[in-house]
Structure 1
């Protein structure tokens, strides 16, 4: 009788690969703690034992409320490896939404950093009966709280390494809630198999030009660990054998110092974080760091003006695209065979598109109503298939049906594919400005405005208009004093050059000191739309 073994694609296989091939590669949490891959794996297995002693069972959900720390990284491995479900709680939600997601995800346990305990202490009467709370402090001193049931470090220190249980690759490994940029947060969940396949594909494209990531690179990922698996990098680094630096709570001065000290060469982030780093008062002291720095931008469109500023500093920039519902990565602007031999400026312009599909992603541009596929350079809705997309919105069959109509996941994003096979996002379907029966693509308009030298940041939204339905309003964070007239003249010149259409030029420019941000550091257009309509 055959003793064939059915190999399951589970998270423990990622950890095993890293440890066997790169046992002495480092994981660094600020200047607080350092691990080798080998010592980290031992610590993960001790945490598994501690969680089991506490009562955590297969299929139960464990929430984490923390910054980007070594504790969080332990949780990314130990909780799914037990057969339990990791809930990455969005700490930037309002308190009532944090509590709502904890209840919706049916968390039985919470791992909580000490500074977040006051939030839970205030809401202790609303927490589920029998919920156990595991607390920790950076100093490893025991946290004093009447709602603490266990200390994280004691769970590790008092336990022997756990055996790795057999878990199905199709069992739920993670759950989290969407950022809520277009409505109430919705729960999405992912299996072990989806996470492993996603990490493998992201690892593969990182090695392609212009990133050319190797095992000599050093990661510092500036995507919160509560946000879409930090784009998969907590698993990618282990598969790829790459040193991993954790920043904790984001402090851009400290981040620059960490980048220098740990010789960071690669990061991922949204455009706003890039803006904060390269405009930091101490940024000029780190030009030597920028010259070796490779950055992938996602979450929202990268304005060409910001991309060119980064390029001037010597930073290699490419972009990617994905959603909470897609694990998240769908496309990355690495060089395909049609682009690799173009001149430098043309390559740069393709690098700052949303990119081309990564391996195992099928992507189409379709008419939002008929579903008919669009031709090259024709705008439509982006729909996708890949082996790592969420199966459903958690306990929401109505929204799930809309998400998966026709057997394709509908992103709600409008875009087109150019002659080189690269995706260009022109707007969220819900953000597109509908003026006189035509769409004004806010992202394309923002991109052109960003090229004006006195503009630091820009966001364009629609304002209600009796005649046209909506008209564009531009919010500007100026780099130096600027007038509406000079911006209007600049955009008229851009329209003469064919970069935009004349009727796209905003009716009004509103100058502000800083942009309102969502929980994932994207510009919050809901707030800007409210401000635009109040300014009428």
Structure 2
């Protein structure tokens, strides 16, 4: 039988899906577009390409080769954006270090990743000094002085970033190579055990960029991204490549505003002065921005903001909408690239009431193109799409991580049955909208029922004076587990446990939640703050330890 495979002519270019291809149109069509760091440094996309070439030339002079790993420890800066491109484009691997981890965890990740060169902001030089004696592979350190004098250090410093780039050639020729080459790696921030390395190939990054951009750009108006938008990331660039959105912004030729370290007042100032229209962040950051903007000094209307990392509560969504922010949720994980669904409102959507619109904006959303997005039982059989039947989200997309670095057993568990297991319990509506109920480990099993901690948290957030809450399951001799709520009040507000319990009991009467979902009075605890992980998620392990 004759093969029907396409055999290219010897002169044909097979076009590998490499990160460098994302720069093509932005250079040829949008070369005059602007990138700014904190509103203080500005340069064009043409200059960006030259600086990317200089970075690759400087790293080559330090011995970086195809297959080397270069770590970055920086705030959200133009240097980080240059590293997103320059390091993988030369065939090396970009390692985005989570600077909010402990010194020992950072040491573990640097050694586990086999990083040879570290680009480190002056703010983090003392941290690197603390662990330098145990670094196994690091040969050179490049300091990002950020315009300040070089810090005194005994680290093996090869030079200052801007000085090295100034001495290097911009005319670096980025070669073609296999699109499955590892482009970027970072480490998950689980609450137990050592961090796990997650890697993405050039092909993964390009396909994630295409699928996510296709979804964000598809609506006619509202909750969309277009070429006249001004983009400012407020998700750390060390975390899942800032959800991959910087690659989309460069590909589409958007003006990019990089804020450095997150300070609410500066973020709001940049929003105003740079006319920012598109961002993404975790709920905690959104809450901080809303608080900092009180007093009417800032007009937030028209700002499109994706919320991820943790659930977007209806109360926080309402508060953002009242300020004119076009807010909506996104869903993904470190292992998923990360974006696999977005809560964009359907075309010609006419909500029956405000509550329905808020629910949709806060939902897990609908899958992006090319996502095999299933909700299954323990036998990997699909549950009914009736909005009630619960199951685990399992996935196949063309850009999921293929496994954890040096952890074969964990990798096989992640991909059991040929689908990536998210550990998230959800329901799917007939219209394809998904709503996560809880993490498998966070579901509260009480009174013969499963209680969603996420749902109870959202309802508690409706109580006047409540800023945020976290609900966990604690052991109970009679019921197995019972819910316990940790509550943070808004500044100056006084909330009583009885008011929270009465509010929840009204939802029991309307049959929205089970009576077992309502914490007893002595299990509603008011705290100054709720512990978070290094990427802003509620750290329920710490809360469970406190409750013991």
Q: TM-score, normalised by structure 2?
A: 0.94
Q: 2:504 aligns with which of 469, 478, 491?
A: 491
C-alpha spacing 1:348/1:485, structure 2 compared with 1 (3 Å): closer
> Which deviations, in whole Å up to 9, do the C-alpha atoms of 1:359-385 show, x marking residues without a partner?
111111111x22221001211100010
1:191 aligns with 2:204: no
Contact 1:287–1:313 (CA under 8 A) maintained in structure 2: no
SS of aligned partner of 1:176: strand
Contact 1:256–1:286 (CA under 8 A) maintained in structure 2: no
Residue 180 of structure 1 deviates from its aligned partner by 1.3
Aligned to 1:419: 430
Aligned mates of 1:101, 1:215 — CA distance in 2:
37
Residue 517 of structure 1 deviates from its aligned partner by 1.2
Within-5 A mapping of 1:10-89:
10-89=18-97
| Structure 1: stretches of 5+ with no match in the other structure | none
Q: 1:240 aligns with which of 249, 252, 262?
A: 252
Aligned mates of 1:201, 1:74 — CA distance in 2:
23
Aligned to 1:128: 136
Aligned to 2:4: none
Q: 1:214 aligns with which of 222, 226, 232?
A: 226
Aligned mates of 1:481, 1:129 — CA distance in 2:
53
Aligned to 1:386: 397
SS of aligned partner of 2:295: helix
Aligned mates of 1:73, 1:299 — CA distance in 2:
21
SS of aligned partner of 1:398: helix
Within-5 A mapping of 1:99-498:
99-128=107-136, 131-139=139-147, 141-147=149-155, 148-161=157-170, 162-181=172-191, 183-207=193-217, 208=219, 209-280=221-292, 282-288=293-299, 290-337=300-347, 340-343=349-352, 345=354, 346-367=356-377, 369-376=378-385, 377=387, 378-479=389-490, 480-498=493-511
Aligned mates of 1:198, 1:141 — CA distance in 2:
39
Aligned to 2:6: none
Aligned mates of 1:509, 1:158 — CA distance in 2:
61
Residue 448 of structure 1 deviates from its aligned partner by 1.3
Residue 438 of structure 1 deviates from its aligned partner by 2.4
Contact 1:182–1:430 (CA under 8 A) maintained in structure 2: no
Residue 116 of structure 1 deviates from its aligned partner by 0.8
Contact 2:122–2:150 (CA under 8 A) maintained in structure 1: no
Aligned mates of 1:115, 1:180 — CA distance in 2:
25
Aligned mates of 1:388, 1:382 — CA distance in 2:
16
Aligned mates of 1:362, 1:532 — CA distance in 2:
39
Q: Which runs of 4+ in 1 moved over 6 A?
A: none
Aligned mates of 1:474, 1:155 — CA distance in 2:
52
1:511 aligns with 2:538: no
Aligned mates of 2:51, 2:319 — CA distance in 1:
42
Aligned residues: 529
C-alpha spacing 1:130/1:524, structure 2 compared with 1 (3 Å): closer
Aligned mates of 1:427, 1:121 — CA distance in 2:
40
Contact 2:268–2:298 (CA under 8 A) maintained in structure 1: no
Residue 387 of structure 1 deviates from its aligned partner by 0.4
> Which deviations, in whole Å up to 9, do the C-alpha atoms of 1:45-70 show, x marking residues without a partner?
11111111111010011111111111
SS of aligned partner of 2:296: helix
Aligned mates of 2:295, 2:188 — CA distance in 1:
36
Residue 43 of structure 1 deviates from its aligned partner by 0.7
